[in-house]
Amino acid sequence: MTGKSTLLDGLRVHVGAPLPQEASVKNHAEARGRHRFLGGSPTVDLECPGRDTTAPLHEQWPAVFYTQTELQRLAESPDAVEDILARLVASETHVIKGLEECLIKFDESLAQSARDFVKLVDDVAEAEQAVQRSLRAAEELVAFSDAGVGTLNRVSSDLRRWRDFVKTATALASEIDSSLDSADFVEPPEIDDDLSGLLKSSGAAWRETDLSVRWERIRSLLKSAKDELVSTNALVRSIADVLEVHEDTVRVEVDRKLANHGLDGARISQLQALNAQASLLESYRANLSQVSDLLASVDRSFEIRRANRQSMVDKQREIYDRVIETVRVQFGGRILARRINDGRKGPLERFLRGFNQRGITRWWNDLPERQRPSPDGLLEKLETGDLGAVGMSEAVQATLLAQMTPSKRRELAALRCPDQYVLELKMQDGGYRPLRELSGGQRVNLLLSLMLETSDDRPLVIDQPEDELDNRFLFETMLPALKRLKGRRQIILATHNANIVVNGDADQVIQLEATADKGRVARAGAIEDPVVRDAIVRTVDGGDDAFRLRRLKYGF
C-alpha cells in the first residue's frame, strides 16, 4: 500500500489517456486517479523531447496504461486483440490501421447511401404516383370528350343563362309590383291660389293639370312594364323547361357512355381540376425521369463502393494472414492466432433486433454463434428464398420477409460485420485453448507475450503484472523481452517482484512510501546506486536477513 496504483492512475487521468472500457474498472481507476492523486494538487512536469509542447498531453506522451485486472479483461475485447495483432509487425501496422480507417469510412458512406436510397425510393414512388394521377386525368378527359361531356357542358351553360334570366326578370317584376302598391297610396299635392300666384310671378312654365297627368302616366307605365315582364317570364320559363328536358336527355346519354368507360358521372364536376392535373403530365414525367436517374446513379455508386469495400476487406485479410503466420513462427507454435470471417456479429444483431419481432430475435438467440450468417449471407438467402438454410422456420421467414422492404434490404447490404481474431495458447497436453477460456494468469501470459513483441513504440505502463504470472514466464519470456526493448520503448511497471526490477535491468527505480493520506517518492535512481539497491533489498526482497536466508536455502 505505497500508492503505486494511485500514482499510475493519476498520471493516466492527468495526461488524458484512455481509461479502462469496463465500467467498474474505469470508475475505480478514475476515482483513484482524479480524487486521491490529482485531488492533492500535485505538480506534474512532462518532459518529452522532440514533441510539440502545445499539443494535448496524451499526444506529447501517448502512453498505453493497464491496471491490474485490465489485461485479463482484454480477452473480452475484440478491438484490443485486433489492435495487438495489428501492431505486432512494424511493416504491416501502418497499412492495417490505414485500411481500418478506410473501412470505417466506407461503412459510414454506405450507411448514408442506404439512407439516401430510402429517400429516393420514396421520391420515385411519389413521382410515379403523380404521373399516374396525371395520366388518369388525361384518360378521363378523353373519355369525357367521347361521351359528349362538352355538349352537356354547353347545354348546361345555356340552361343556366336562361334560368338566371328568369330569376332576374322575376325579381324585377316583384320590385315593380311593390312600386305600384306604393304608388296607389301616393296622391300628388294640390297647387292653391297662393302657390299659383307665386309660380306665375316667378315665370315658371307649368300647367295646372301637369302633375296629376304625369303621375297617372307613371302608374300606367309601371303596370305595362309589370305585364310585359310577366309575359316575358312565361316565355323564358318555357324555353328553360325545354332546355332542362334536353339537358336531362344529354346527361343520361353521357352517364351511359361514361359507365362504359368505368367512370362515374359525378366526376364531371371535377373537370377543371382534371384539366389542371392533365396539363402537368410532361412536368411530372420530367421529374420522374430525374429522380429515377438519380436513384440509378446512387444504386450504381452503392454497388461500386460495396465492391471496393470488399476488396479492402480481402486486402486486410491478406495482411493479417501474414501477421498470423508471424505469430506462429515467432512463438514456435506456443501461441496461435486465427481469423473468423465476419465473426463480430454486433451490427447484424442490432439490425435484426431493431424489428422488435419476437420470432426473429428468438431465432437469432437460439442459433449457434458459428452458424449465424453474415449480412451478405443473409441477404443472399433472402434473394434466393433459402432462409431455411440458416435455421429459420417458415413462420419466422414470413415475419422477416414482411419486414424486409427494399429500403431494409439496402440497409442490410450496407452492413459489415468485422472479422474476429482469436488468440490461442498451447496447453501442456498439446492442445490449444482460446484466450477467453484461459485462466487469469494464462491470459496475462499470452497477452503480455504479444504486447512485448509488437512494433508499438508507445510508452507502456502496467500495474503489477506479476500478480497473475509465474516466475518461469518472467524469466523465459518477460524479462528477455524487457531487455530487448531497452532503448526502443519506454516501459513503466509497478511491481513488488524483485526479479522484474533487478533481472529486468531497470534503468530507473522509484521507491514509494505512503501514510494514511499521502504518498511520496522515498528513493529514485539506478540499481547501481547503493541507496537504491538497499531500498530494493528491503522493499521487495524482505530485507538483508531474508535475502541471506534465501541464498542459504538455495545453496548459493
Strand partners, 425: 335, 433
pLDDT of residue 52: 86
Residue 58 grid cell: 496524451
Residue 454 grid cell: 509488437
Single-letter code of the amino acid located at 458: R
d(CA 460, CA 353): 39
pLDDT in tens, the chain (556 residues): 567 888 899 999 999 998 888 888 888 888 888 888 888 788 888 888 888 888 999 999 999 998 877 877 887 788 888 988 998 888 888 999 999 999 999 999 999 999 998 889 889 999 999 999 888 878 776 776 777 767 777 887 888 888 898 888 888 888 888 888 888 777 777 777 777 778 778 776 666 556 777 788 888 888 888 888 888 888 988 998 898 898 888 778 777 877 777 766 666 666 667 667 777 888 889 999 999 999 999 999 999 999 999 999 999 999 999 999 999 998 899 999 999 999 999 999 999 999 999 999 999 999 998 899 999 999 999 999 999 999 999 999 999 999 999 889 999 999 999 999 999 999 989 999 998 888 888 888 888 888 888 888 889 999 888 777 777 788 888 888 888 888 888 999 988 887 888 888 888 999 888 776 777 888 888 888 888 888 887 776 554 544 444 444 444 4
Instruction: Tell me, rounded to whole angstroms, the distance of Cα 94 from its chain centroid.
Output: 30
Strand partners, 514: 519
Residue 541 grid cell: 526482497
d(CA 441, CA 467): 8
d(CA 123, CA 145): 33
425 contacts 445 by C-beta, under 8 angstroms: yes
DSSP assigned state of 467: G
DSSP assigned state of 267: G
Strand partners, 513: 520
531 contacts 537 by C-beta, under 8 angstroms: no
446 contacts 435 by C-beta, under 8 angstroms: yes
91 contacts 98 by C-beta, under 8 angstroms: no
pLDDT of residue 138: 81
Sequence-separated (6 or more) residues with CB below 8 Å from residue 427? 433
125 contacts 118 by C-beta, under 8 angstroms: no
Nearest 5°: CA angle at 164, between 160 and 165? 120
DSSP assigned state of 381: H
d(CA 159, CA 155): 6
pLDDT of residue 554: 42
pLDDT of residue 269: 62
Residue 485 grid cell: 526493448
3-state helix/strand/coil string of 66-116: ECCCHHHHHHHCHHHHHHHHHCCCHHHHHHHHHHHHHHHHHHHHHHHHHHH
Burial of 67 (0-12, 13-18, 19+ CB in 10 A): buried
Question: How many other CB atoms are there within 10 angstroms of residue 425's CB atom?
Answer: 21
Beta strands across the sheet bearing 432-434: 335-340, 420-426, 432-434
Residue 349 grid cell: 444483431
User: Which strand (E) or helix (H) includes residue 433?
Assistant: strand 432-434
d(CA 402, CA 230): 74
